[in-house]
Amino acid sequence: MTKSELIALLVAENPHLRQQDVEAIVATIFEGITAALSRGDRVELRGFGAFSVKRRDPRQGRNPRTGEAVAVSGKAVPFFKPGKELRETVNGGPPQGGGKGGPKAAARKPVGQAVR
């Protein structure tokens, strides 16, 4: 989905908002996230995920054409870690396998309910 497709979807779902207003809202959100990351801050959107900046150390690379060693400087790279709810939604339900929500946890009787 592109930015313009996102704006079109939001306008269609919210007919009481003008397209120019939705464009301004989306641009403001993206600008806020970008500004926070450029300051080195972390942006967490509960249920969606967290944006952060990771540092990459300088290293020696290779020119693929000549094989010559090339110095690659250190840099900051934006990183996104999806939240639990986003992962569950993308995977079609709660995560399977180990962890707190395994099959045994689902079979347990909820606390405070009587057995019939």
CATH (domain of 22): 4.10.520.10
- Which tens digit of pLDDT belongs to each residue from 1-26? 999 999 999 999 999 999 999 999 99
Structural domain span for residue 56: 3-96
Q: Which of 54, 101, 61, 104 is nearest to 75 (CA)?
A: 54
The pair of three-digit structure tokens given for residue 48, joined into one six-digit string: 């969606």
Identify the DSSP state of 84: H
pTM of the model: 0.68
Distances (CA, A) of 84 to 23, 25, 51: 28, 26, 14
pLDDT digits (tens, 9 = 90+) for 97-110: 555 555 444 454 45
Q: Number of structural domains, the chain?
A: 1
Q: Which tokens hold the place of 52?
A: 């952060």
Please report how many Cα atoms fall inside a 13 Å half-sphere around the Cα of residue 60, on the Cβ side.
Answer: 3
Within a domain: 108: no
Please indicate, yes or no, if residue 111 is contained in any of the structural domains: no
